[in-house]
Structure 1
């Protein structure tokens, strides 16, 4: 029991920071570009309670963590954005969408830099802080890359809709109502069915894992931990 509580204590802070700043970044970007819908709804706040979806942010990730799943998955409440308030709706929506993964990338890099300060703490605190920082790096890199998958309603899908020619952007945008179902099938259903045949296969994570590892290696070098 104590070991479980200790493990949870090293995940909860980096997870809340990653999710809260991700969502607040969307709202902040929209506000700076001319839409104050998120600001008026209180979504520029750093209070996690304003962004948490009980099932997607708490229950599902906690269950995956407790059963020692090989990945964590979840979601927060979407930030409201009114495209009609944006000067250049397609371009600006792409910028708003990119702000979330961008802040996750920044958090991962900052966590790596903070590893240089660990010698300032005692051995016990040093281990707990190191695990928090390591989890912050992993969570934020995974959130960054996963959200950049070019399938709406993920941020990458909305970036793609904003950048692609209209002939390609319109059919991609129409996928938004089915996008999350498709992702859940690839992320949860396909691995479950494959496991019934004795096959360890998660196509989505096989696709993004090399990118996650490569990005982590780049950030390690940039932060002074590799060469």
Structure 2
């Protein structure tokens, strides 16, 4: 999907690719930094408390982003035993929260900057990418942050979700769900994006 832009609109390709790399990196760093601050040394042991994209971007996940329009970064390893229930919840929620904060910051900048130019295009792209990441990751299905947040809130359900994630077919089922539910997910993302822009009088 994105690869087609490489020949049709190289500048757009570069902007979107850079926005994805930045946003995925910040998302994973937020998980790692929060877990580290709350007392879990696991992310630091794996070198994940860093803003270096090479530590967070997954080769297969990045390739899927370029080809299919959706993919993934390397999950940050955390040890819930070091964090407890609420620490695990905050370490998990930190990723989507970081994307929401970036989107709001972009919306604020759009509200105070002139309504044309490359800077506006970049800000709109970064805003859109971060809304997509935040909304997508908050879906409460296995392998996504929303599932782990739900699991921290309801421990008995969390154990069942963790068991499902351990199954070899779980990734394929999640990908199938995303494909089948792409239209309603897209509608939700569009609604949230419109709300964020409207919040600061842009759009």
Counterpart for residue 4 of structure 1: 9
| Whole-angstrom CA distance in 2 between matches of 1:103 and 1:152 | 20
Q: Which has the larger radius of gyration?
A: 1
- 1:79 equivalent among 72, 76, 79: 76
Q: Contact 1:151–1:175 (CA<8 Å) still a contact in 2?
A: no
Structure 2 residue 49 is matched with structure 1 residue 40? no
- 1:106 equivalent among 85, 101, 110: 101
Counterpart for residue 36 of structure 2: 31
- 2:25 equivalent among 20, 23, 47: 20
Q: Contact 1:101–1:148 (CA<8 Å) still a contact in 2?
A: yes
Q: Contact 1:13–1:132 (CA<8 Å) still a contact in 2?
A: no
- 1:222 equivalent among 194, 199, 203: 199
Per-residue CA distance 1:100-136 (angstroms, 9 max, x = gap): 111111111111122235439xx7xx2x322222221
| Whole-angstrom CA distance in 2 between matches of 1:129 and 1:3 | 21
| Whole-angstrom CA distance in 1 between matches of 2:190 and 2:51 | 29
- 2:66 equivalent among 58, 62, 69: 62
Counterpart for residue 120 of structure 2: 130
Counterpart for residue 115 of structure 1: 110
Give the length in aligned residue pairs. Answer: 196
Q: Contact 2:102–2:127 (CA<8 Å) still a contact in 1?
A: yes
Per-residue CA distance 1:173-216 (angstroms, 9 max, x = gap): 2221344221212234xxxxxxxxxxxxxx31233233222222
| Whole-angstrom CA distance in 2 between matches of 1:9 and 1:169 | 39
| Whole-angstrom CA distance in 1 between matches of 2:162 and 2:13 | 37
Helix, strand or coil: the match of 2:131?
A: helix
Q: Contact 1:14–1:133 (CA<8 Å) still a contact in 2?
A: no
The TM-score with structure 1 as length reference comes to 0.78
Distance 1:137 1:179, change over 3 A: farther
Unaligned runs of 5+ in 1: 65-71, 189-202
| Whole-angstrom CA distance in 2 between matches of 1:164 and 1:2 | 48
Helix, strand or coil: the match of 2:114?
A: helix
Q: Contact 2:136–2:185 (CA<8 Å) still a contact in 1?
A: yes
Unaligned runs of 5+ in 2: 1-5
Distance 1:159 1:142, change over 3 A: same
The TM-score with structure 2 as length reference comes to 0.86
Helix, strand or coil: the match of 2:39?
A: coil
Distance 1:4 1:31, change over 3 A: same
Q: Contact 1:34–1:85 (CA<8 Å) still a contact in 2?
A: yes
